[in-house]
Structure 1
Amino acid sequence: VIGPVIMVIGLSVAVVASQMAMGQAGGNQAVDYAQSLLLSGFTFAVTVVVAVFGSKMMKLVPILIGVGAGYVAALLMGLVDTAPIAAAPWFAVPHFETPQINWQAALFMLPVAIAPAIEHIGGVMAIGKVTGKDYAKDPGLDKTLAGDGLGVCVAGLIGGPPVTTYGEVTGAVMITKNGNPKIMTWAAIFAICMAFFGKFNAFLASIPLPVMGGIMILLFGTIASLGLKTLIDAKVDLMQPKNLVIVSSVLTTGVGGMIIKLGSVSFAGVGLCAVLAIILNWILPDEKPAETLPGGEI
């Protein structure tokens, strides 16, 4: 069940990565097509070369090196607007909103929360496969889900958007091999501190779409590859009808963008295919092993 769901996490956002690599945003061509392909291809190539052939130190930061090289190339191609960086203040307090309680909206979001909760479980399983640790047992899904929910609440209290478990982070961990939780903690603290520097935020906003597209192609692809590795490690026999039905159905509904609407509530993507996989695994019978007769015949 976990393997195909992890594959869907990566493949479901593959379209977004490809669009970014082509310089498209919201269905519109934001950056010249030919220049976008050249820039995203260059960024992708630099990241791959560093990740595969770089020194031990360079392999820790291939994504940063790839983004940096792509940004320099974009500057030389005239695709970076530096005016917002120059106009941005050095120090800026993020905009905070006054929290308001809306019970109607809260009740509406309760069933919707099932999808990100399932996606969270898939993300925890995926990162566990990468690091070789079972986070479902230690610290436990109850604690990881509680932490994810607490993060959503804090984000809402300070006027930020809802947060969820991001699959691209799993891809980054796979490439950099940086799976130490302490590193992630310090990285989070650093990100919070940098949010108060206006020029840094303006710099991040100035990174062209094709540069990030070249990176995302690699990150999202690694997640799908991890799902395939999960199936291989578990020695899943796809010749068995039950396994074939589960994997095929999950991939088709997850990647195909199927949406099921129940009144005002919609289920799609990882949440939908995970529920489908669980139900199919529950109701479909396991194939009985063939019996061998005394004479050795089956």
Structure 2
Amino acid sequence: MNPSTTSLSPMRKGVVGVQYLFVAFGATVLVPLLIGLDPSAALFSAGVGTLLFHLVTKGKVPIFLGSSFAFIAPIISATELYGLPGALFGCIGVSFVYFLMSALIRAFGTRFITRLFPPVVIGPIIMLIGLSLSSAAVKMAETNWTLAVVSLVTAIIITLYTRGIVKLIPIFLGIVVGYVVDLLFFEVDLQPVREAAWFGLPQFILPAGFEWRPILYMIPVAIAPVIEHIGDVYVVNNVAGHNFVKDPGLHRTMLGDGLACLFASLIGGPPVTTYSEVTGAMSLTKVTDPVVFRIAALTGIIFSLIGKVSALLRSIDQAILGGIMLLLFGTIAGAGISSLLHSKVKLDSARNVVIISVTLTTGIGGAALHFSSFSMAGIGLSAIIAVLLNLILPERAEDRAEA
């Protein structure tokens, strides 16, 4: 444990815990708003999922789980094929991937992951997560460009010109400022907020029955979040000064993410995974006591039970969300490019260019494969293509990353 966390009073731990929740709040509620879910269900899933993670990892790892943007496009596509309950139930497939990776890591270590998912595979997949939703962002923003620009500019200013914890919540503050402008200059229907009960359960979407097709559809989508999880754990290692890869073990952290995804799938919440934004906040504050993250989880659960919070979040104009998405999804795409550059992937290698190009064109172009009543498309299909190309195409010395 970081020495700076041992002297925190219970009150201070509570304050920091709530602070960590607000770092994740904007992005966590943005995902359900985009795919048509109750944002309170996302908060509930994040809170319970985080507690499950801490249970599996023996309460040692300071991590918070939140809604992942990697699942937005696949869930939207799967909804068109199987309906929203079917798409969310299909996320059980994501948990299967985490369980499998946990077992493989426990048996063989992490070397095989590097072989399956090198940077030349992960970079374009991350880029697709952002690029595949760019048109949706524009369509939402153009419903009211004033609100979209206000939200976008606010998020940009916070990202570029602020410091400390404020710099970590551009999404949250962009939505807040956009909403205030909406209240002052446009018409916002607050009647649902006034009519909403103060306390009540989130609107869960329970699975109607077992269905294999959406599960198989969602399995390839797990590649990007699985790799992100590994990267986040290593960052947490550095910040906390403890090797969590060995104690309690990467296989346990992977299992924790899988159980959280499984729980979310069974109640109809968006999948929750290890959250990079909160990891960034921890790097800034140096507070690494796992108790603080459990406090954030409990606070999220409490918020999810306040009916007026859900109603207020649902009253946010889609143009405000569109403005935030213009920056956010472009940033995700940029992170994919940054991953290629930081990993020193040789972009003058014909092999690497082929893998990156085919992955991007199939994903952005909407390529799909159909087998009888089963289909695969989008990020999931492109991820499979990237992995197969990396395994099939022979790698020569001139194709390898620079030392």
Whether these two folds match at TM > 0.5 is: yes
Provide the residue aligned with 1:10 in structure 2: 130
Provide the residue aligned with 1:62 in structure 2: 170
Contact in 1 for aligned 2:261/2:273 (Cα 8 Å): no
CA separation of 1:190/1:20 partners in 2, compared to 1, >3 Å: closer, same or farther? Answer: farther
Provide the residue aligned with 2:305 in structure 1: 196
| Alignment partners' CA distance in 2, 1:8 and 1:211 | 23
TM-score between both structures, scaled by the size of structure 2: 0.58
Give the match's secondary structure for 1:261. strand
Provide the residue aligned with 2:219 in structure 1: 114
Provide the residue aligned with 1:20 in structure 2: 140
Farther-moved stretch of structure 1 (272-281 vs 145-154)? 145-154
Contact in 2 for aligned 1:121/1:141 (Cα 8 Å): no
| Alignment partners' CA distance in 1, 2:244 and 2:254 | 10
- 1:134-283 alignment to 2 at 5 Å? 137=245, 142-157=251-266, 159-161=267-269, 163=271, 165=273, 170=276, 172=277, 177=281, 182=290, 185-283=294-392
CA separation of 1:284/1:188 partners in 2, compared to 1, >3 Å: closer, same or farther? Answer: same
TM-score between both structures, scaled by the size of structure 1: 0.76
Aligned-partner residue type, residue 312 of structure 2: F
1:177 CA drift (Å): 4.5
1:221 CA drift (Å): 1.6
Contact in 2 for aligned 1:125/1:136 (Cα 8 Å): no
Contact in 1 for aligned 2:165/2:281 (Cα 8 Å): no
CA separation of 1:156/1:224 partners in 2, compared to 1, >3 Å: closer, same or farther? Answer: closer
1:239 CA drift (Å): 1.7
| Alignment partners' CA distance in 1, 2:334 and 2:388 | 24
The answer on 1:42 being equivalent to 2:162 is no
Aligned-partner residue type, residue 173 of structure 2: I
| Alignment partners' CA distance in 2, 1:254 and 1:149 | 25
1:124 CA drift (Å): 2.5
Identity value in percent: 37
CA separation of 1:289/1:273 partners in 2, compared to 1, >3 Å: closer, same or farther? Answer: closer
Provide the residue aligned with 1:294 in structure 2: none
| Alignment partners' CA distance in 1, 2:388 and 2:335 | 23
Gaps of 5+ in 2: 1-120
CA separation of 1:14/1:173 partners in 2, compared to 1, >3 Å: closer, same or farther? Answer: farther
CA separation of 1:12/1:97 partners in 2, compared to 1, >3 Å: closer, same or farther? Answer: closer
1:150 CA drift (Å): 1.9
| Alignment partners' CA distance in 2, 1:203 and 1:90 | 12
The structure whose Rg is larger is 1
CA separation of 1:60/1:73 partners in 2, compared to 1, >3 Å: closer, same or farther? Answer: same
CA separation of 1:99/1:232 partners in 2, compared to 1, >3 Å: closer, same or farther? Answer: closer
Contact in 1 for aligned 2:237/2:244 (Cα 8 Å): no
Provide the residue aligned with 1:75 in structure 2: 183
* RMSD between aligned residues: 3.3
Task: Deviation per CA, 1:26-54: give whole Å up to 9, x if none.
Answer: xxxxxxxxxx1111111111111122212
1:118 CA drift (Å): 2.0
CA separation of 1:231/1:173 partners in 2, compared to 1, >3 Å: closer, same or farther? Answer: farther
Provide the residue aligned with 2:94 in structure 1: none
| Alignment partners' CA distance in 1, 2:390 and 2:378 | 18
1:188 CA drift (Å): 3.5
Give the match's secondary structure for 1:260. strand
Contact in 1 for aligned 2:151/2:320 (Cα 8 Å): yes
1:9 CA drift (Å): 1.5
CA separation of 1:90/1:73 partners in 2, compared to 1, >3 Å: closer, same or farther? Answer: same
Aligned-partner residue type, residue 210 of structure 1: A
